[in-house]
Amino acid sequence: MPFILPELPYDKSSFGNLISVETFDFHHGKHHKAYVDKTNGLIADDAGLSGASLSDVITTAQAKGNMALFNNAAQIWNHSFYWQCLTPEKQTPSGELKTMIDEGFGSLENLLAKFKEEAVGHFASGWAWLIVEGGKLKITSLHDADTPLVHEMKPLLTIDVWEHAYYIDYRNARPDYVDALLANAINWEFVAENLDGQGVSRADQS
Ligand SMILES: [Fe+2]
């Protein structure tokens, strides 16, 4: 079965000016779709990967040094995860996640400030991540298509900092894009589900 472009988990008009319909049309409908189409084309040339899950394709492609396949498959997964990190309904962390944030960063405000610093400071294309590493929350960023799936990292939250994620709505103002999403559009329920891996598996497909 070829991989598919997953449906967005919300109506693409529900974010108003935070994320425009035009951005979703291009980012999901064209960029994300292109990664799906390219991955399916590359897998058609590798019978050994027939029927493999997306996460298995990503790890196998990296192990084989097939970077074209790795980049496209990892971008499918990263984008599927990213869409689920967003919600049009403003949320705040609670429960175990809130406790971990307070213990690791002192407060949600401190976490968001450090996340913004990482996302804005990341040079060129890539992804800013909140992860669990060694049992602790940590903020990091990865370049291009690189993904926590091939590192000893449990991903909780990501923001896409490729220019295609924000150029339509925010032009070159990456800080404004990051600020807007962090303040208004983070699905903290999904972030909390990732503490035990529930959300991570929802970004996979086979
Ligand atoms: Fe993207």
pLDDT at 47 over 80: no
Q: How many angstroms separate the alpha carbon of residue 80 from the centre of ligand 1?
A: 10
Determine, yes or no, domain membership for 130.
yes
Determine, yes or no, domain membership for 40.
yes
Q: How confident is the model at residue 93 (pLDDT cuts 50, 70, 90)?
A: very high
pLDDT at 139 over 90: yes
pLDDT at 50 over 90: no
Q: What is the mean pLDDT of the chain?
A: 96
Q: What is the pLDDT of residue 197?
A: 86
pLDDT at 48 over 90: no
Q: How many angstroms separate the alpha carbon of residue 95 from the centre of ligand 1?
A: 30
- Structural domain count of the chain: 1
pLDDT at 110 over 90: yes
Long-range contacts, 9-18 (Cβ 8 Å, 24+) = 9/83, 9/84, 10/86, 10/87, 10/88, 11/88, 14/88, 15/86, 15/88, 15/185, 16/88, 17/169, 18/88, 18/169, 18/180, 18/181, 18/184, 18/185
Amino acid at 123: F
Q: Which residue has the tokens 């008009």?
A: 13
pLDDT at 153 over 90: yes
Q: What is the pLDDT of residue 206?
A: 81
pLDDT tens digits for range 18-42: 999 999 999 999 999 999 999 999 9
Q: How many angstroms separate the alpha carbon of residue 21 from the centre of ligand 1?
A: 15
Q: How many angstroms separate the alpha carbon of residue 103 from the centre of ligand 1?
A: 31
pLDDT at 155 over 90: yes
In whole angstroms, what is the distance from residue 176 CA to residue 119 CA?
11
Determine, yes or no, domain membership for 13.
no
Determine, yes or no, domain membership for 12.
no
Q: What is the pLDDT of residue 167?
A: 98
How much is the average pLDDT of 76-99? 98
How much is the average pLDDT of 138-146? 98
**Of all residues in the chain, what percent carry a pLDDT higher than 90?**
90
Determine, yes or no, domain membership for 9.
no
Q: What is the pLDDT of residue 83?
A: 98
Q: How confident is the model at residue 68 (pLDDT cuts 50, 70, 90)?
A: very high
Q: How many angstroms separate the alpha carbon of residue 135 from the centre of ligand 1?
A: 28
Domain that holds residue 187: 20-206
pLDDT at 96 over 80: yes
Provide the CATH number for the domain around residue 159.
3.55.40.20
Q: How many angstroms separate the alpha carbon of residue 126 from the centre of ligand 1?
A: 8
Determine, yes or no, domain membership for 159.
yes
pLDDT at 46 over 80: no
Q: How many angstroms separate the alpha carbon of residue 32 from the centre of ligand 1?
A: 7
Residue 57 sits at φ, ψ, to 5 deg, of -60, -45
Determine, yes or no, domain membership for 81.
yes
Determine, yes or no, domain membership for 1.
no
